[in-house]
Amino acid sequence: MRGLLTLRDLSTEKILELIKYAEKLKRGFRIQYPDKKIATLFFENSTRTQYSFQCALMNLGIKVVDFDTQLSSIAKGESLYDTVRTFEALGVDGVVIRHSKDEYFKELETIKIPIFNGGDGKANHPTQSLLDLMTIHEEFQKFEGLKCCIVGDISHSRVAHTNIEIMERLGMEVYISGPEEFNDHSAPYLPLDEAIEKMDIIMLLRVQFERHQEKMKISVEEYHKRYGMTVERMEKMKENAIIMHPAPINRGVEIASEVAECPKSRIYKQMTNGVYIRMAVISDSLDGNL
């Protein structure tokens, strides 16, 4: 299949090449595809991924075909496959898809146009990981040997699952922390206050209440006290350490409101880098390389 579905499909060299290409685009390199059109099909809510893909497409001179699930024939029972097959028949040059089903793209193996995965269930969020890596690379100019702890709702997080695999592949030391009920053992566990003092990167996650089968065992107030990035915890981090979060953020739950925009926070830089990473991925695909 063409496009970008998972980072496991890409070699480490290709991932580094995409990050370098995104950095070049951020420095002002201009490339245009005025004859192309790409559809954005979001079957789950999204602000950053949906609109940064749309900004990336506009920056590349590509026409955006917007899709509203409420006004589409999905409401009449049309399947994901038939929806994507329709866009292919309409002549679009690619589709961006976010869907709640893990690995939804396995149903789309016969589709010939590129598919750019904007997140599938709890499994993959490849462009989020690439923008996270770009932000880390901008900060430290390397990956090898960096220590990162991902904190929070690990078991429901496609961001955590995608990042753990690629960060380990790039030679980073990756740990997880947070409530035991969200520990899926996808990386070694560290108590939060130990992680705060030792890590180069603390990556916070939102508690994904919408994916929970059962109510969280502790209140959000208790969560903030035990696992949140408070001002006191932020002040104990290493001098050059940074705070990341894929967002949306819940101020006062996983992060104190004043920490979200403190000098250690790279949350808004991650969002800016998302536009350049998505430009790099789409451009590389339209050039026939993905």
- State the minimum distance, in angstroms, from the CB of residue 47 to ligand CP: 4
Q: Is 128 in the site for ligand CP (CB under 6 A)?
A: yes
Q: How many residues does the chain have?
A: 290
Q: Which stretch binds ligand CP (CB under 6 A): 167-175, 195-203, 240-248, 251-259?
A: 240-248
User: Residue 3 or 246: which CB sits closer to ligand CP?
Assistant: 246
DSSP string spanning 61-92? TPEEEE--TTTSGGGGT--HHHHHHHHHHHT-
Site for ligand CP in 72-101 (CB under 6 A): none
- State the minimum distance, in angstroms, from the CB of residue 288 to ligand CP: 27
Q: Which stretch binds ligand CP (CB under 6 A): 5-13, 148-156, 192-200, 243-251?
A: 243-251
Read off the DSSP letter of residue 32: -
CA distance linking residue 2 with residue 280, whole number of Å? 15
User: Residue 83 or 157: which CB sits closer to ligand CP?
Assistant: 157
Q: Which stretch binds ligand CP (CB under 6 A): 29-37, 75-83, 246-254, 276-284?
A: 246-254
Cβ neighbours around 32 below 10 Å, total: 11
- State the minimum distance, in angstroms, from the CB of residue 51 to ligand CP: 8
- State the minimum distance, in angstroms, from the CB of residue 44 to ligand CP: 8
- State the minimum distance, in angstroms, from the CB of residue 42 to ligand CP: 8
User: Residue 96 or 111: which CB sits closer to ligand CP?
Assistant: 96
In DSSP terms, 81 is beta-bridged to none
Read off the DSSP letter of residue 60: T
- The radius of gyration of the chain from alpha carbons, rounded to an integer in Å, stands at 19
Asked if 33 and 283 count as a contact pair (C-beta separation under 8 A), the reply is yes
Q: Helix, strand, or coil here: 10?
A: coil
Q: At what angle do helices 126-140 and 267-286 cross, to 10 degrees?
A: 120
Q: Is 246 in the site for ligand CP (CB under 6 A)?
A: yes
Binding mask 200-239 for ligand CP (x = CB under 6 A): ----------------------------------------
User: Residue 48 or 156: which CB sits closer to ligand CP?
Assistant: 48
CA distance linking residue 191 with residue 118, whole number of Å? 31
Read off the DSSP letter of residue 93: S
User: Residue 178 or 274: which CB sits closer to ligand CP?
Assistant: 274
Q: Helix, strand, or coil here: 174?
A: strand
Site for ligand CP in 36-55 (CB under 6 A): 46-50
Asked if 2 and 114 count as a contact pair (C-beta separation under 8 A), the reply is yes
User: Residue 124 or 155: which CB sits closer to ligand CP?
Assistant: 124
In DSSP terms, 243 is beta-bridged to 202, 265
Residues that contact ligand CP, how many (by CB under 6 A):
10
Asked if 141 and 185 count as a contact pair (C-beta separation under 8 A), the reply is no
Q: In the numeric block, which tokens belong to residue 115?
A: 């598919």
- State the minimum distance, in angstroms, from the CB of residue 32 to ligand CP: 25
Residue whose pair of structure tokens reads 């926070």 in the numeric block = 265
User: Residue 88 or 156: which CB sits closer to ligand CP?
Assistant: 156
Q: Which residues bind ligand CP (CB under 6 A)?
A: 46-50, 119, 128, 246-248
